Amino acid sequence: MTDTAPRTPRPTMPVPTSTDTAQSYWEGFYRGWEPPADWVARANPLFVREAGALPAGTALDLGCGAGGDAIWLAERGWRVTAVDVSATVLRRAAAAAAEAGVADGIEWQEHDLSRSFPDGVFDLVSAQFLHSPVAGVGEREAILASAAAAVGPGGTLLVISHAGWPSWFEEPPLDFRLPTNAEVLSVLEAGPGEWAVDTDEVLTRELTGPTGEVGTRDDAVLRVSRLPH
């Protein structure tokens, strides 16, 4: 798979300070990057591949960033709740949704998901590249457990994660582990309900690096559906 067009902000993630919280880190990250005038929030192609066949309903997008996925869903009739910890990126995403003519289809909510979680049950719960160098031990797993609990009967949980660093890095640029699909599945197995595994794969895609070089990166795709009983 090739994904060389810019989709979301791609500055290098800074090393967090010892006092950074999720809110201070991600707010600083987004304030430190001003999108160019011609920049457009685009949906992740892997997300489109996985969500494209689902019938429109209600969706929860966790760590929505610049809003490309939420806007894509709203354009296809979904009613979306989109969540991020950064007020700056939520403002930008809301402006992009208004520009795309789908402001009414998306509710933007500011949460640090390690502290609060949106109310409701959804047909699709999505966590796309929900990685954070300031997340504490077990924090991502707890968020994913809440995400699973928010999937209604017959609904879908779609978790796409980086499974490795871009090939142009000789050393990991940040000191945090990238999760595996098996770890996400073990979170689901520890919770209530039964799940069918629809997609469980790791694939390598091409992408453009900071100085224009083409490299590769591995991503892990996990799509599961809650059995309707």
Ligand X SMILES: C[S@@+](CC[C@H](N)C(=O)[O-])C[C@H]1O[C@@H](n2cnc3c(N)ncnc32)[C@H](O)[C@@H]1O
| Interaction of residue 129 with ligand X, rule CB under 6 A | yes
| Interaction of residue 161 with ligand X, rule CB under 6 A | no
| Interaction of residue 16 with ligand X, rule CB under 6 A | no
Query: Is the Cβ of residue 64 or residue 125 nearer to ligand X in the bound state?
Result: 64
Binding pattern for the stretch 36-65 against ligand X, x by CB under 6 A and - elsewhere: --------x------------------xxx
| Interaction of residue 113 with ligand X, rule CB under 6 A | yes
Stretch binding ligand X (CB under 6 A), from 72-80, 91-99, 124-132, 217-225:
124-132
Nearest to 153 by CA among 57, 19, 16: 57
Query: Is the Cβ of residue 15 or residue 227 nearer to ligand X in the bound state?
Result: 15
* Distance, CA of 181 to CA of 64 (rounded, Å): 20
CB of 9 to ligand X, least distance (A): 8
Select from 51, 70, 74, 130 the one that contacts ligand X (CB under 6 A).
130
Query: Is the Cβ of residue 153 or residue 177 nearer to ligand X in the bound state?
Result: 177
Q: Which one-letter amino acid corresponds to residue 61?
A: D
Terminal CA-to-CA distance of the chain, rounded, Å? 36
∠ CA 37-39-42, rounded to 5°: 155
Distances (CA, A) of 154 to 95, 189, 206: 32, 17, 33
Please check whether residue 175 is in contact with residue 134, taking contact to mean a CB–CB distance below 8 angstroms.
Answer: no
Residues 79-98 that bind ligand X (CB under 6 A): 84-86, 89
Query: Is the Cβ of residue 139 or residue 229 nearer to ligand X in the bound state?
Result: 139
Query: Is the Cβ of residue 24 or residue 167 nearer to ligand X in the bound state?
Result: 24
* Residues lying near ligand X in the complex (CB under 6 A): 8, 22, 26, 44, 63-65, 84-86, 89, 111-114, 128-132
